A and B are shown apart, each in its own frame.
Chain A
Amino acid sequence: MSKITITRRTLLAGASGTLIASRAWAQQPSEVKVGLLVPISGIYARPGTVMRQGAEMAVEHINGQGGIKALGGAKLKLVVLDSGDTTEKAKNAAQRMVAQESDLVAASGAYLSSFTLAVTEVTERANLPVLTLSYSDLITDRGFKYVFQTSATAGSQARQALPQIIKLAETASGRRPKTVAILTDNTAASIASAKSMREGLLAENKLQLIVDETFTPPLADATSLVQKIRSAKPDLLFFLPTVISDAKLLLEKMNEFGLGQGKVPTISFGIAIAEPDMLQTVSPELLQGVLTCVASWGAKGHEALIAELKTRYKEPWMTQNAISTYGDMWVIKDALEKAGKADRVAVGEVLRTMDAGPSKYYPLGEIKFDEKGRRVGAGMTIVQWQSGVPLTVFPPELALAKPFWPKT
């Protein structure tokens, strides 16, 4: 850090040539730098911090198992940059990352899809491969070569989830759901999921949309929304909040109106409704049975990791942010092994072409990316609140518990 301070002053003095000189030491093969660009200040600091925990754990595990063998056992070194809480700050941080950490071989980031979009505009031009858990379709629709999306895209997630939800409802209650309500906030991820449902997915699954409401977070009052649900009596409620307070407000209001605790089965998208913070404001009884469809979650085969995260960081369970970022580090490690050199362009080339078999940390599919940079066969997980813990219940090969359908 002190080196950067000096160059910063040098800039003010009008010269910046010394920067190159301060860099030689990091080029030694004993260490390979990997970037992590996530929000660790501002309103998104909490998820960003969890991503950092996942990355730190992975780097430690990789190094503990002998580092990058193809590079003579070189150790991974995590360089964490704060993307802050605005798109501009995220872009600035990305520019800082490529300008001042020129020996990075790859990076992971940047939580919010808006941030990832801005960050990858920079990294693409610097040929720095970036793995991201953001699932906006737009990220890999731009023809970029150095962005790798490990999650299923928003559109694909809804497509995968819907048949499973219907099947679950049918087997549990013996009746196929026919009508649905959508309550969504107007953030990018929620809008993308809701849009794919409205535009064909619901019809494909023979579901009729009878309530369709979009709100701007944060909600001041959920009464009018819940009243519409009560009068329409849908078989399913798709509820897509991003802000925890909105989730709390709606669940409590549903309960107050006698619709809670499974009277109207509630299915969410995204991780907001399954964040540990939920328990600080909402009682486990209200959450019991609530389902959410997420890109990734701590699942079968991750038990040791979940336990380690719990003891080290006091995180009660492993969200998408922790497990996905943990997986990112392993993918970068694999790519380094195959590239055989600590070079970002080479790592990018490997990521585009590699086929490292079935995925261990992301749900389903392989460690292989298509021409857009999307992970081939990327699945998703369905998580259900059971006795105060959101557990993976789908897909069956990853499930930590059996799903149950709330009795109606």
Chain B
Amino acid sequence: MLQMRSFLPPLLFTLAYAALSLGVTNSYYQLILTLVPVWAVFGLSWNLLSGYTGLISFGHAAFFGIGAYATALGQIYFNISPWLLIPVAAMLGGIAGLLIGFPTFRLQGHYFALAMLAYPLAILYVFEWLGFQEVTLPIKRDAPIAYMQFADPHVYTLLGLAIMLATIVLTQVIERSRFGMALLAIKQNEAAAEAAGINTLAWKLRAITLSGAIAATIGGFYAQVLLVVTPQSVFGMLVSAQALTVAMFGGVGTVWGPVIGSVILIPLAEILHAEAGARFPGIQGVIFGFAIVCVILLAPEGLFWKLRDLLRKRMAPKAAAADIPDTSAANVTTLKPAPRQRAATGEVVLEVKNLSRSFGGLKAVQDVSFKLHENEILGIIGPNGAGKTTLFNLLNGFLKPSQGEVLIDGRNMSGQRPHVICEAGIGRTFQVMRPFLRMSILDNVVVGAYVRARSDEEARKLAADAVARVGLSAVADRVAGELSTKELRLMELARAIAGQPRILLLDETLAGLGHGEADEVVAVIQQLARDGMTIAIIEHTMQAMVRLVDSFLVLDHGAVITEGLPEVVTRDSRVIEAYLGKKWVGHAAN
């Protein structure tokens, strides 16, 4: 039901647009009305990859151009109808996406963006070299409709609209599914997504394949509208830029962004070109550029998000009366600490044997061995730079060990990808929190649930369950960006347990919390342990830990100094020395 309702706005928008188009008799305005959905769809295809994953592509013209040329050349050389060629173009675009994505996803950030920039430019030269500088679609006077050549320009607009509606609906379906969640998680933090059990490479490849197919589809249609294809007009820098411009102007990472951007910018550019440009040739570019700069400055994430934030603020005072009791109740429902059977002698679920990792000459972790027993809480402590986080990164697969083994239930998992290790039952949180700020708490947690869930529904159920376990149920619908540090910590905890791990690695979960707040989080962790979870927790402050853990593992300079029960370890002179320096050893003894 929820799904059906969300398709209503795009459907209404499309119908209204179609009605407007049918009312317009001027063929020039009609052409502009055709170009708006064309660029909107191209923006949407860009958004599907770059908007959701955050991997900026400067080279979407590659797919657009492949679609355009496939549609044009197929007609010229094989006399095939564009009704067939455009689906073929989509396939080619998808294949191109896969071929381009596979090597290029090794890169991240700016390097990815720059590498993507190279593809259309390289392909542009190939098409010039092949002698396709200018290609015109043959005019079909005898069978115009079979060749998508309509005398009535309305038909082009309606076709463009149909493609746009299909793309919007597809994007919406993806946005709400595991696919969309995975992409959003990759955008926020690819490492965290991997750790949450998401096979990031596979999802990214699916995204670029689909994105390439959509871009090629609309490129093919564009060729049909323009009737002339030149390398510059389909592979050029300006084409790639067009996708970025409409999406960034309208709003990145939302289905409405590229549509808004295109609806405003394409007619605006034309009006400026026709009106201002007629008086002062060239001025249109200046005004257009200036307008974009202004909007990006005022609404850096795009118009959609700015408007939504403004609307929310407007609505907020009205809803405030109802909200206030809620917000006070938004505090964590404190769970009463109850004694727990200390279980240091359970079955060994995680065994680390002689684990080492060095970065150049620096031995970050050297020869570390320990065992984690079922339902145990192990505290891993040590001063800053002792190698604690590196150890976790080795355990959950972010780093490959130089030596040694990580045995999960007796199976050696060292060197496996993080999402594989997550599937094997290890969840983790991060020292630096990586919430998905624009998503609700529940949605944040759902991302972590997919590793165990077979359906979207099951994932929601697991997530709701996890949110309840950390006591955030009352605020589950609030946006992560509005939460306090403590709530964020708990939310991350919920995300880690939503995938129902058997072993939880917590990296400085108490960092940045006040005294009372830390106690609440500690209570939640204790409750998890009572429910049978096995936990390894990193901290470098010992106070809260002493009450929490069953045993300590103390690291310094990457090596284990000692391990054992809390009361023994805290008195160990080597531990005191590592933390405070040699001269305090004597003091501490007293």
Contact = CB atoms under 8 A, between A and B. Distances in A.
Interface in B224-274: 226-228, 230, 232-233, 236, 238, 270-271, 273-274
Interface string B19-32: 01001111111011
A321 B580 CA distance: 85
A329 B155 CA distance: 36
A121 interface: yes
A91 B273 contact: no
B281 A82 contact: yes
A87 interface: yes
Given A117-B134, A121-B228, A4 B273 contact: no
B134 A41 contact: no
B136 A11 contact: no
B282 interface: yes
Chain B: interface size category: 35 or more
Contacts of A80: 278
A143 B282 CA distance: 35
B449 to A, nearest CB: 46
Interface stretch (B124-132, B358-366, B416-424, B481-489): B124-132
A8 interface: yes
B228 A118 contact: yes
Interface string A1-37: 1001101100100111101000000000000000000
Contacts of B228: 87, 91, 114, 117-118, 121
Interface stretch (A55-63, A184-192, A308-316): A184-192
Nearest to B24: A16
A381 B228 CA distance: 30
Contacts of B26: 7, 11, 16, 19, 99-100
B138 A142 contact: yes
Nearest to A12: B267
Nearest to A125: B151
Nearest to B153: A95
A113 B24 CA distance: 31
B157 interface: no
B341 to A, nearest CB: 73
A406 B239 CA distance: 46
B460 to A, nearest CB: 42
A66 interface: no
B289 interface: no
B128 A143 contact: no
A14 B23 contact: yes
Contact of B32 (A92, A98, A191): A92
Nearest to A186: B128
B285 interface: yes
Contacts of B20: 14
A99 B131 CA distance: 34
Contact of B273 (A45, A92, A142): A92
B285 A88 contact: no
Give the interface centre of B26, B31, B139 by most chain A CB atoms within 10 Å: B26
Interface in B265-317: 270-271, 273-275, 277-279, 281-282, 284-285
A136 interface: yes
Nearest to A195: B131
Give the interface centre of A82, A88, A117, A187 by most chain B CB atoms within 10 Å: A88
B129 A186 contact: yes
B133 interface: yes
Interface in B9-67: 20, 23-29, 31-32, 35
A84 interface: yes
Nearest to B230: A114
A59 to B, nearest CB: 17
A82 B27 contact: no
A65 interface: no
A82 B284 CA distance: 11
B24 A87 contact: no
Nearest to A97: B28
A138 interface: yes
Interface in A116-144: 117-118, 121, 124-126, 136, 138, 142-144
21 contacts: A14-B23, A15-B23, A40-B277, A41-B281, A41-B284, A45-B281, A81-B278, A86-B232, A86-B238, A87-B230, A87-B233, A93-B274, A95-B27, A96-B28, A100-B28, A113-B134, A121-B136, A121-B227, A142-B136, A142-B139, A214-B129
